Amino acid sequence: MEENKDYRVHRSGDLSEGYKLQVEHTVSCENIDISPFIAQGAETIQAMRQDSIEGEKKAYDIVVAAAKQWEQQAAATQRLDRALAYLRTPEVKHTGNRWQPYSKDSDLEEISNRVYKMFCRIREDTKYDRQMKQSIPVAWYVTWDLYLNSPREGYNIHLAGQDRKRYTDKAAAVKYLDGRKKAYSHLFAEISPPVPKEHENCFTVNGVLLPGYRIEGREQEKASVQEKLSAVKVQKKAGKEPKAANKKKEDIQI
């Protein structure tokens, strides 16, 4: 008797897709001696076969129950993984709203906080003057870019910018760049300014906003709700006072 078995269990997936369980189990019996069964007759063999099928079903039910138990436990593990991913998200690096040379390129200036970062530079273009026998400036190119400064890798979205804006006057180039810095200076007034609603996901891990962040307009919404609740309380209080006064008046008349 030769019996070939193949039993494989695959556990795969990630936090975004969820884990998957794949079970493959095949049994192949070749060159088996069936003579002991033949002697027992077809009816007996049929009854034995039915018992064997029922035994298979019981074994199958056990496997299915174990798979369901695994699913529940895998879900619990995944929730814990998501919580750990949130807690292990590193604090974003920033310059504390100060302009300084960019660490990876000294030609660039950088300013950043927990939500935004901005880069800029003025590159001088020169041309060699044969008569003067030296290189002289002929143009200045201004480049600046504004990004989100997300602690999540791959979520530093480009918000605005200008690439290689050409000037033939250096003072004009400096004036333009100073204007761009001033135009976005309000974004660098706080270390942790409000996050734009449309980019909330860049500062959220597994559905939870990272600590220390707040969403733009969310404070106003909360304040509005509180104001409405306060107004309702005032109205209720004002409504009770006249009734009490009327009651006293009626008592006096009686």
Q: Which domain holds residue 113?
A: 100-209
Does residue 72 sit in the same domain as residue 152? Answer: no
- 78 and 113, same domain (yes or no): no
Contact of 111 with 183, CB cutoff 8 Å: no
Q: Does 135 lie in the same domain as 109?
A: yes
Helix (H) or strand (E) holding 164: strand 158-167
Kindly report the CA angle at 153 between 148 and 156, in degrees rounded to 5?
A: 20
105 and 203 inside one domain: yes
> pLDDT tens per residue, the chain (254 residues)?
444 544 454 555 544 455 666 777 777 777 778 888 887 889 998 999 899 999 989 998 998 899 889 899 999 999 999 999 999 999 999 999 999 999 888 889 999 999 999 999 999 999 998 888 899 999 999 999 999 999 999 999 999 999 999 999 999 999 999 999 999 999 999 999 999 999 999 999 999 999 999 999 886 666 555 566 666 676 777 665 545 445 444 443 43
In a domain, 158, yes or no: yes
The verdict on 76 and 117 lying in the same domain is no
Task: Please indicate, yes or no, whether residues 203 and 104 belong to a single structural domain of this protein.
Answer: yes
Boundary-marking domain end, from 23, 53, 87: 87
Confirm whether 218 is domain-assigned: no
Residues 205/86, Cβ–Cβ less than 8 Å = yes
pLDDT, residue 29, reads 73
- 163 within a domain of the structure (yes/no): yes
CA torsion sign for 36, 40, 42, 48 is negative
Strand order in the sheet with 105-112: 100-102, 105-112, 116-129, 134-148, 158-167
> Residue 239: its pLDDT value, please?
66
Q: Rounded distance, CA 88 to CA 82, Å?
A: 10
Please check whether residues 55 and 143 belong to one and the same domain: no
Partners of 117 in the β-ladder: 112, 147
Examine residue 35 and state whether it is found in any structural domain, yes or no: yes
Residue 33 inside a domain? The answer is yes
Q: How far apart are CA 223 and CA 6, in angstroms?
A: 64
Residues 13 and 112 in one domain: no
Same domain, 78 and 38: yes
51/54 Cα distance (integer angstroms): 5
Instruction: Specify if 232 maps to a domain.
Output: no
Beta-sheet pairing, 158-167 with 134-148: antiparallel
Which residue from 119, 72, 117 is spatially nearest to 93, judged by alpha carbons? 117
Q: How far is CA 11 from CA 8, 25, 66, in A?
A: 10, 15, 14
Residue 177 phi, psi dihedral angles, 5° rounding: -65, -40
Domains in the chain, number: 2
Same-domain check for residues 132 and 205: yes
In a domain, 217, yes or no: no
Residues 152 and 196 occupy one common structural domain: yes
Do 26 and 47 have their domain in common?
yes
78 domain residue, yes or no: yes
Residue 108 CA to chain centroid, in angstroms?
Answer: 29
The predicted model scores a pTM of: 0.68
